[in-house]
Amino acid sequence: MSVNDTAHSDNSAWNRQVYHRLKLALSLGLRRQIFLAVCDDLHLRNQVAARLHSTLAYPVGQVLYQPADGQESSTPAYPRLVTLRLNLNEPNPIEQINQWLHDYPPPVVGASKDAPGRPLPIPTFQIVGVEQLTKQSVASQRLFLHFLRLSEEYFSAQESSRFLESSVLLWVSRPWLSAIQQSAPQFWRWRTGVFVFAGEPTPTTQNTSHPERFPSSKSLNLEKLEKSILDDLAIEKEVTTTVGTELEFREGLDFPGQTLANHANLKDDSSDSIVQELTNQQKQPEIRSNQVDNSSLSALSHVSQELIDLVLATIKTITNLESEDEWQVKELLLEIEKLHSQKASGEMLAAAYHQLGNLYRLHIEQGQPTLENLMVAIIAYQEAITYDENSPQMPDTLNDLGTLYWMLSRTPPNVEEGKTYIEQGIEFYQLALKMISPETHLDTYARIQNNLGTAYGDLAKFASPAENWQEAVVAYGEALRYRMVESDPLKYAACQNNLGTAYWHLAQYNQPVVHLKKAIAAYQQALAHYNPQAEPLKYGMIQNNIGTAYWNLAQYEQPGENLQLAIDVYNEALKYRTPAHVPSACAATQNNLGTAYWHLANFAQTPKEARQKLLQLCIHAYEEAVALANSLGSASLSFDLFATHNNLGLAHYQLVTDNTFNGDKAVRSQHLEAALDNHLLALNGLSKQPEAYQTTFAYVVKTVRAFHNELGIQGQNLALSKVPGHLLAEILPKL
């Protein structure tokens, strides 16, 4: 998806968000990181690269170190960020970085007679000019990709040259991003993050004989800048079914059901004194909202216009925004404007922006995850971390941002941009994890790992499902190492359920037996910590998940035993998934149960005398599912109702045509009529699915023939009387 297709109508707003994320990632000073910045607009690229350089190369108003013992030092200030243009004659960025470090080694500071001193940190390097390779020979282009492939030894070595002792930012255009993915996959796998800027492609016509001059940073304007899990599964060439469970692992996500961050221990701002100062200022009566109209907010000069417009939109549209909340929102915007005007400290500005984000996060948690609310919270938090990158609550804020972006991926009209937003959420989670350790932030670390697993699971819907589900398994496993069952058994159980679901999905791509057994084990661990009386719905949900895993396992080994286990577990789930409490979930489990009965009835080793009983149980379960579905409407279903009608028709047909059936003609007629009615219902709903339509049409013809075989010509006439007239001309020649 092109970033130009994003729902953001203003590219500068999008680019501003990407810039802040990129700046934050580079500011962390981590070692051995590879970042890719994607930008087709070379003018924008030059502006952003210049802004990064001016902001990060040297701290504003100070040098990077203090002279020892108050004495002057003749050592010049050493940059934190170095910008290099790719050498088109020898396009080896690794060698260029090593050569720069050879020519400009980090100076040693703080040396004395008693101490050897310490070298300053190795800078981060940003590489520009890759797009100019497009004008070079094919050999030069291949050579660049060859050098990237050779970089594997640097990544895998415990100690290498100075390359990657810090971070590398490689600026590329979209075509070069695709070339790297395809031709340098190892380099691509080692990436830490990809930052995509919006902008139209610029022809590469610059004069490459002269170094590119970056414009002054002052010219930049960046500041305003469950459906069924088994759909279309064929069963022994005859039944197309959906086992219809929604495997509700989303319940394990810490937001919005519980918290975005650890609110029990989370301060609203970076320090008590700042909170108190802001609170005191906000209590002043002269700036109450009844004295602040919307036009005065629009006139604010320091707060971004995008943020103001979004806030005003929420005030107009949120039905539960009470007057006190509206006052707080307007007051916070005025306070932020005042702090900007007074050139307040970064900590003060961060605290104010953070309070604004918290206020909107509260509305989101209370059931208002609108696009506008999410965007205000995101922008406010991103402003907060921009102004105070050393805040002790930075990991929690990054976690909140990750979850807000995850929610944004599921908020209309952004569903089509879901992949981009989920990837952004993952980047925030990963940044948060790099700032903490489980030893110092036990609960936060476990929560972020759990959320990271959920985000990878959603990303698997868009790309690389096997790889992303494997990442989800790793994240959930890491969360469970530190999410102690003794301290919070319900969170532990939810995470085990998440892990089971990740294993279930992974089994669809590789090692099915191994992963399905691990899924069952994880689900059973979750089940052990849910009390069926206290948590009946979650208990029933996990029983349903276990049943589906056994159903899948039966396709690979011990079908009779595993199908019976699935049936037993589905029946247990139905004790808690009742029509009165959760009719849609009950319908899904009944549908699953019917499919398991059908499989066991058709298992070769099932005794003939048991087949009739199993088919009758199958029919009963499907009929329960259909009845509940009809009372609910298809919109609330997690399984394909037309497939269920087909399956129900086949079960009636099999029951009658089985040689052990001993019913009289009236009973035979009842079952055949039920079979035909269900197939016709399915056929009516499949008119826009040609392949499924033809399969169901064949079932109709087969059932009409059975009427003749079982009940004679009168039976056939009865069947034909039920068939819509427009189908008769096509059916009669086939009889």
pTM listed for this prediction: 0.66
Residues paired with 125 in a beta bridge: 82, 168
- Beta-sheet pairing, 81-85 with 33-38: unpaired
The predicted pLDDT at position 479 comes to 95
Residues paired with 108 in a beta bridge: 119
d(CA 364, CA 314) in angstroms, rounded, equals 12
By the 8 A CB rule, do 48 and 19 touch? yes
Contacts of 289 (CB under 8 A, 6+ apart): 323, 326, 327, 330, 331
The predicted pLDDT at position 221 comes to 28
Three-state secondary structure along 340-402? HHCCCCHHHHHHHHHHHHHHHHHHHHCCCCCHHHHHHHHHHHHHHHHHCCCCCCHHHHHHHHH
The predicted pLDDT at position 506 comes to 96
Average pLDDT for runs of 10 along the chain of length 735: 37 81 82 88 85 69 39 55 89 88 80 74 90 85 87 57 71 90 86 85 43 28 26 26 30 33 30 37 37 62 79 68 65 85 88 88 83 89 87 90 90 74 91 92 92 94 93 96 88 93 95 96 95 91 94 95 96 95 93 95 90 95 94 81 93 90 88 92 87 89 89 88 86 80
Measure Cα distances from 444 to 365, 431, 433, 452, 492 in Å: 18, 13, 9, 12, 14
d(CA 418, CA 415) in angstroms, rounded, equals 5
Neighbours of 669 (CB within 10 A): 19
d(CA 513, CA 495) in angstroms, rounded, equals 22
The predicted pLDDT at position 665 comes to 87
First-to-final CA distance of the chain: 51
Three-state secondary structure along 525-585? HHHCCCCCCCCHHHHHHHHHHHHHHHHHHCCCCCHHHHHHHHHHHHHHHCCCCCCCCCHHH
Contacts of 76 (CB under 8 A, 6+ apart): 107
Q: Specify the 3-state DSSP secondary structure of 234.
A: strand
Measured over the CA atoms of residue 709, residue 715, residue 719 and residue 720, the dihedral's sign is positive
By the 8 A CB rule, do 239 and 647 touch? yes
By the 8 A CB rule, do 472 and 500 touch? no
Measure Cα distances from 490 to 540, 629, 697 in Å: 15, 31, 49
d(CA 599, CA 592) in angstroms, rounded, equals 11
Q: Which residue has the tokens 């189908």?
A: 727
Contacts of 207 (CB under 8 A, 6+ apart): none
d(CA 527, CA 523) in angstroms, rounded, equals 6
Neighbours of 481 (CB within 10 A): 11
Q: Which residue has the tokens 């960020």?
A: 81
Tokens of 237: 């060439």
d(CA 37, CA 595) in angstroms, rounded, equals 49
d(CA 539, CA 556) in angstroms, rounded, equals 27
